[in-house]
């Protein structure tokens, strides 16, 4: 298995070779396992919430509960992204922008392994979204 340093030291013309794909697949599978553990823990914490008689305590408990629900929602939305990234590795599409076909880049994928857009395309889309929101 490659280290991060070895991954980044690879020549650009060797982008998304078998070793790099194996590195990202292991990284994504590890993230998926951690996600499942976090989901389990968050759900368990929700089940152990005790309601207090005091109004201030009730408010605190409810705020904690809302936080846990937001966390569960966030994690639940991440799961299909991780699974889709693993499928892209298996199909050979991983690491390439789904719009331009250009390489996404190793550093971007290390920061966000579920990325489907190169930085330039993501920036272009965010600019378009910003322009539409301001109108």
Q: Residue 64's pLDDT is what?
A: 83
* Torsion angle of the four alpha carbons 98, 79, 77, 129, in this order, in degrees rounded to the nearest 10: -20
List helix spans (H) across the chain: 4-9, 18-47, 55-91, 106-111, 119-134
Q: pLDDT digits over 9-33, tens only?
A: 888 889 999 999 999 999 999 999 9
- The three-state secondary structure class of 53 is coil
Could you give the 3-state DSSP secondary structure of residue 86? helix
CATH number at residue 90: 1.20.120.910
pLDDT tens-place string over residues 48-88: 766 666 777 778 878 888 888 898 899 999 999 999 999 99
pLDDT at 57 (0 to 100): 76
Q: Give the total number of structural domains in the chain.
A: 1
Decide: residue 118, CB within 10 A, 0-12 exposed, 13-18 middle, 19+ buried.
buried
Domain span at 47: 4-134
Whether 45 has a pLDDT exceeding 60, the answer reads yes
> With 80 as the cut, is the pLDDT of residue 123 above it?
yes
Q: Span 119-127, mean pLDDT?
A: 91
Phi and psi at residue 15, in whole multiples of 5°? -60, 135
User: Is the pLDDT score of 135 beyond 70?
Assistant: no
Which pLDDT value is given to residue 48?
A: 76
Q: Is 95 in a helix, a strand, or coil?
A: coil
Digit-coded pLDDT (tens) for 83-122: 999 999 999 999 999 999 999 999 999 999 999 999 999 9
């Amino acid at each position: 298995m490659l280290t991060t340093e070895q991954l980044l030291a690879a020549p650009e013309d060797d982008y998304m070779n078998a070793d790099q794909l194996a590195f990202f697949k292991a990284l994504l599978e590890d993230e998926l396992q951690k996600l499942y553990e976090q989901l389990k823990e968050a759900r368990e914490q929700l089940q152990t919430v005790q309601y207090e008689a005091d109004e201030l305590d009730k408010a605190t408990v409810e705020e904690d509960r809302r936080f846990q629900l937001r966390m569960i929602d966030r994690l639940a939305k991440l799961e299909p992204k991780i699974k889709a990234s693993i499928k892209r590795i298996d199909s050979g599409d991983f690491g390439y922008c789904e719009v331009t076909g250009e390489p996404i880049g190793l550093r971007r994928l290390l920061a966000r392994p579920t990325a489907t857009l190169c930085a330039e395309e993501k920036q272009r889309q965010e600019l378009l979204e910003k322009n539409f929101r301001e109108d």
